[in-house]
Structure 1
């Protein structure tokens, strides 16, 4: 009887852990810390969808992690949370690791969420009916998720290619949801750099004219001249060094989320994300998802030319231009390679 009870218990445990990462249960007793604070700027955006999937599908919990996610108006504010010590990890733009190193702060990307930025720069048809070229944006108000975030970086790069400086426009923080939509529709801003589903909603309403788009790999290469890494998980070098098993567990969960997204149906996606993400229109959300799906990384690996593209993009920034940046210290594929060798979708 004891033997049958033991076998029954073992079978029940196996059933309860079906689909979890094979590394998870070996790691739970080895995690340097189970509680991890993650800062993100605009969690409702597709840019950060893998993070939401890892959270809502229980992949972090399967790794033995107790993850607390704090959502900020933009990536630059999420970054400040990590620098200030209130967050351990940031779900944010890869280029922030470069900006931080330029300020002598060492942060490293360890799992990629997006292989294209998904950022769209568009003008308000109402505010700029006679728009002809990027030069027409001089002196205008451009809405971004938050000043200094990836949306303002993308817009600044597009401006720089046209001979304009960031100081030639006024960047206005409008967030990443309904606030951004309201700001454009009410005339508070003349143009907007934001992401889906916000931009698809405005596009379908006929409110905007897209002038630069990075939602597909082809468009991204056209804008940046190469593969441009986007959303990722990054942390300070000290956190990663002190917590390698915890960092691996985070990576396992994110890789599993990326794999899940590759095969997820629209219904599964809708059933997983919070209702607020849909902006009141499920059909529009799914249409936007189909538009940006290829922008998400299929495996979490940093593309070979990605870091170089990001560094070239930031050369317009006086804080980076001419600075001795060691790109090898801004990213690593080591944790993802281990995850890919063991994690099942």
Structure 2
């Protein structure tokens, strides 16, 4: 928590850039991920299929090691929109950072604890004194690991957080036994399992129905740049709808935009595609934009957001609860969803 507060306190040290490129409005979007992967293929779809361009946007996507750093970048004005989980937003509320969500991205809490299949560890209580693999020490996964112990009445400082990054470094740390457990997120676990590592979950009671996070901005910007955020949300929503209709084409778009994500040339392309489609489907699962589920993207469930505020309070990440409506709004959702879902799905069918 000290790391989170210290980073969030670095507000006001940057400047905002409202420039444009080629007649389009520039938007700087930050995501907390050490690298591009199939979980973010929907962003590649929005770029490759021209959805950003249709909305008059030039989107500059920047990667950061953690959601905490994404939050700091938004607060300081270095980026315009941050894709982040709730912890840095809730903690920042007490520091008056003024961050608020305008659209949901994760429909549920994405962080969890897992151990290699066959491990003698069967509960959170067994983690005391153990080495927990995280992408970075300041990551939301690290915060979640400490929180899980604290909620069980255990000492969160009894664990050793081991930064294992992503990709080959991460897999080597797991396979070699350098870590006893993992504190990662949904798609990252699928990537690990795709590499042949079998994992089993460690249940953390109280996290089953929580808000997972989404697109956050500074409150003053929400009013001043509402149209910009609506257009960004709409372009992104189209990418989600397309990806659900044709996940294989979505992964193909990711490979075109970010060739480094394709994987080893020694692996058959069919296998690479199948594995990455699994990762994408983990992220798409529960996005609630499939036919028959309302055809609406981004709406946040008040009960879930309230539950998350209670959770971070109980976990000791903040001193007291606050009104959940202070950190989210659904006011932009209707405008964001003003497009034809069927037209996007039809385009995906043609792509197939």
Q: Smaller-chain TM-score range?
A: 0.7 to 0.9
Cα displacement (A) at 1:243: 1.2
1:1-345 correspondence runs (5 A) = 34-42=25-33, 44-45=36-37, 48-124=40-116, 129-203=119-193, 205=195, 207-212=197-202, 223-226=206-209, 228-264=210-246, 266-274=247-255, 275-280=259-264, 281-298=272-289, 299-322=297-320, 324-342=321-339, 344=341, 345=344
Preserved CA contact (<8 Å) 2:29 2:82: yes
Give unpaired runs (5+ residues) of structure 1: 1-28, 214-219
CA 197–115 in structure 1, closer or farther in 2 if over 3 Å, else same = closer
- The 1:292–1:341 alpha-carbon spacing in structure 2 relative to 1, beyond 3 Å, is closer
Confirm or deny: 8 A CA contact 1:152 1:193 kept in the other structure.
yes
- Structure-2 change in CA distance of 1:84 and 1:273 (3 Å): same
Backbone CA RMSD of aligned residues? 2.9
Asked if the contact 1:81–1:87 (Cα under 8 Å) also holds between the matched residues in 2, the reply is yes
In structure 2, how many angstroms separate the alpha carbons of the residues matched to 1:277 and 1:197?
14
CA offsets 1:241-266 (integer angstroms, 9 cap, x no match): 221211111121122222223322x3
Number of residues of Structure 1 aligned to a counterpart in Structure 2: 303
Q: 1:297-333 CA deviation, whole Å, 9 max, x = no partner?
A: 53111123121121122124434132x5232121111
1:196–1:310 CA distance, 2 compared to 1 (3 A): closer
Structure 2 gaps of 5+ residues are 1-19, 265-271, 290-296, 345-352
Q: Are residues 56 and 93 of structure 1, via their aligned partners in 2, closer, same or farther at CA, if it must alter by over 3 Å?
A: farther
Question: Who wins on radius of gyration, i.e. which is larger?
Answer: 1
Work out the CA distance in 1 between the residues paired with 2:143 and 2:253: 31
Report the CA distance shift for 1:57/1:194 in structure 2 as closer, same or farther (over 3 A): farther
Q: 1:55 to 1:141 in 2, by over 3 A?
A: farther
Comparing both chains, which one has the higher relative contact order based on Cα–Cα distances under 8 Å and sequence gaps of 6 or more?
A: 1
TM-score, reference length from structure 1: 0.76
Q: 1:244 to 1:206 in 2, by over 3 A?
A: closer
Change (3 A) 1:336 1:122: same
- Once the two structures are overlaid, the 10-residue window that deviates more, 159-168 or 231-240, is 159-168
